[in-house]
């Protein structure tokens, strides 16, 4: 895959919109399920201070050298009150389905 192919793949699969939506679903679930931890990570939480943006999109050859387990990985950065607060990564199979996602805090 070259850069143009990756860009075309991202557009065809609506990855930019889907990964931001997936982030918010994950983040809101985290807020509900782990309220105590969330409140310590985000004191006096106010959603208007959250900034979410795609930092990078990667093509990953995961099972080198067989090249039979490849993915597109989207790395989203999260800023809260002007500081980096978290990263959200979502891993797509080449058919556009989600393989995995995870949220980690700085």
Q: Where are the domains of the chain?
A: 3-105
97 vs 5, 29, 45, 54, CA distance in Å?
A: 17, 21, 32, 18
In tens digits, the chain (106 residues) has pLDDT values of: 689 999 999 999 999 999 999 999 999 999 999 999 999 888 899 999 999 999 999 999 988 888 788 999 999 999 999 999 999 999 999 999 999 999 999 8
Q: Residue holding tokens 């989600």?
A: 98
| Reported pTM | 0.89
**Going by C-beta distance under 8 Å and a sequence separation of 6 or more, which residues neighbour residue 93?**
71, 99
- The dihedral over CA atoms of 23, 85, 80, 84, expressed in degrees to the nearest 10, equals -110
Q: Residue holding tokens 């006096």?
A: 44
């Amino acid at each position: 895959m070259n850069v143009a192919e990756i860009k075309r793949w991202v557009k065809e699969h609506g990855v930019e919109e889907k990964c931001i939506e997936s982030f918010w679903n994950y983040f809101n679930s985290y807020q509900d399920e782990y309220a105590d931890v969330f409140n310590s990570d985000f004191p006096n939480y106010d959603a208007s201070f959250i900034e979410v943006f795609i930092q990078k999109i990667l093509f990953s050859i995961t099972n080198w050298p067989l090249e039979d387990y490849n993915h597109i990985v989207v790395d989203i950065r999260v800023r809260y009150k002007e500081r980096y607060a978290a990263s959200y990564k979502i891993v797509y199979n080449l058919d556009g389905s989600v393989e995995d996602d995870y949220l980690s805090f700085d």
